Amino acid sequence: METKNCPKCGRLFTYVKNSICPDCLKEEEETFQRVRAYLKEFPGQSISQVSEATGVPPRKISKYLRDGRLEVTDGLSGFLTCMNCGKPIHTGKFCRECSTKLSKGFQSVAANPKETEKNGPRMHHLKNKDKE
């Protein structure tokens, strides 16, 4: 059996599969449940509001989201925003309107290569046209 020092509290513990000791793991779990319970009771909060109310750092709350333990649909607002217009979204990078708009825009640019040439001929990157 392997023993490790807990990176959180420094205590020696028997390493099984978790990288922190059982005590810290329990604490982590309680922290997570606190956030979860708070969101259940007060949906539609922003990360900073949740952080203030639960005492859990925003960094940790966003980690729960990235790890998929929490979802924005759990009642958290303002975490994911459209990279184009800043509107809150539940998934991906852009809101539905912008992704439609952007994919259309992208298509029209691709269909009119002269348009891009006109706007920035020096930025033209056809360097590897001899790649074949």
Among 39, 70, 80, 98, binds Zn ion (CB under 5 A): 98
By CB under 5 A, tell whether 4 contacts Zn ion: no
By CB under 5 A, tell whether 9 contacts Zn ion: yes
Query: What DSSP character marks residue 81?
Result: B
Give the x-and-dash track for 47-86 against Zn ion (CB under 5 A).
-----------------------------------x-xx-
Which amino acid would we find at residue 7? P
Q: Give the pairing type, strands 45-46 and 76-77.
A: parallel
Sign of the Cα pseudo-torsion (90, 96, 102, 106, in order):
positive
Q: How many contiguous H segments (helices) and E segments (strands) does the chain have?
A: 5, 4
Strand partners, 86: none
Of 46, 114, 108, nearest to 77 by C-alpha is 46
The least CB distance from residue 88 to Zn ion, in Å, is 10
By CB under 5 A, tell whether 24 contacts Zn ion: yes
Please choose, out of 13-21, 29-37, 52-60, 103-111, the segment that lies near Zn ion by the rule CB under 5 A.
13-21
Coil/strand/helix, residue 76: strand
The least CB distance from residue 98 to Zn ion, in Å, is 3
The least CB distance from residue 132 to Zn ion, in Å, is 38
Tell me which residues touch Zn ion (CB under 5 A): 6, 8-9, 21, 24, 82, 84-85, 87, 95, 98
